[in-house]
Structure 1
Amino acid sequence: MRAATIYEHAGMLYVHSSSKTTVGLWILNAPVLSMDKTDVGEVGRAIRECLAASCENVPHPRLFTNLFDPVLALAGVKSAGGFLKTAKCVEVETSGEATVSLIPTRNEGIKSGLVPLPGKTVSVIGSDDELGSAAIEALATSE
């Protein structure tokens, strides 16, 4: 499986790849991209680029303190709490097939995190524009 995450914060989108460590945890990895949500083609291209960079069996980190820093740096935010306080999020998954699943989440705050809303999952097969449009719609259904 390949995975990525999309965040909407302060009118901008942030997309990053996720990879599975040797002990089975998913962590953020490059690339980390930002874009305006009005360019649906660019959103779709960014999602595909991040999915392509996703892999499994990456070394498990010894420290988890700075893993989210690339997103914070792009957003110009100093803390994960400040970013996540108002962020919307969609998890992205694919099994290497043409279908990409977009899973909206509910933001339950810094302590409880972002909880997937599987009943709102959207599956997409199509162009970058179609994937980008579906991602924007999935963000709109995130809570």
Structure 2
Amino acid sequence: MKAATIYERKDKLYFHSSSKTTAGVWVITAPVLAVDKENTGEVGRALRECLAASREGVSHPKSFTDLFHPVLELAGVKSFSTFVKSAKCIEVETSDDVTVTLIPTRNDGVDDGFAPLPYKTEATLSSDEALGSVVSAALAMAE
């Protein structure tokens, strides 16, 4: 399986790839990207790039402290707490590199993070424009 996460904060979308460690834990991995949320073609391209970079069997980190730091840098904020206060999030996964599942989440705050909502959207990895439109629709369902 391959996975990525997309956060919406202000007028930007922040993407990162997720990879599964040798211990079975999903962690943030490169690339970490920021895209104007109105540019649907770039949104689709960024998602496709993050999914392509997702791997299984990456080294398990010794520390989880700074894993989110690249996202914070792109957003221009110093803490996860500040970032989360105004963020929406969707999780994206694919097991066949053809169809993606987008899972909107509910923002439960800095202590509890993002909880998956029961609304899932299936889409094909077709054009970047079409994929970007599906991302926008899924983010509209996130809370």
Q: Does the residue aligned with 2:74 lie in a helix, a strand or coil?
A: helix
2:58 paired residue number? 58
Q: 1:105-134: per-residue Cα shift (whole Å, max 9, x none)?
A: 0000011110011x2110111211111101
Q: How does 1:34-73 map to 2 (within 5 A)?
A: 34-73=34-73
Distance in structure 1 (CA, Å) of the matches to 2:32 and 2:74: 8
- Where does structure 1 lack aligned partners over 5 or more consecutive residues? none
**Alignment length, in residue pairs?**
142
Q: How does 1:113-128 map to 2 (within 5 A)?
A: 113-117=113-117, 119-125=118-124, 126-128=126-128
1:23 paired residue number? 23
1:104 paired residue number? 104
- Where does structure 2 lack aligned partners over 5 or more consecutive residues? none
2:95 paired residue number? 95
Q: Does the residue aligned with 2:64 lie in a helix, a strand or coil?
A: coil
Distance in structure 1 (CA, Å) of the matches to 2:134 and 2:99: 12
Q: Does the residue aligned with 1:110 lie in a helix, a strand or coil?
A: helix
TM-score w.r.t. structure 1 length?
A: 0.97
What is the percentage of aligned positions where both structures have the same residue? Answer: 60
Following TM superposition, the consecutive aligned residue runs of length 4 or more in structure 1 with deviations greater than 3 angstroms are: none
The Cα of 1:85 is off from its aligned counterpart by 1.1
Q: 1:31-72: per-residue Cα shift (whole Å, max 9, x none)?
A: 000010111011000000000000001111011100000000
| Superposition RMSD in Å | 0.7
Distance in structure 2 (CA, Å) of the matches to 1:34 and 1:68: 14
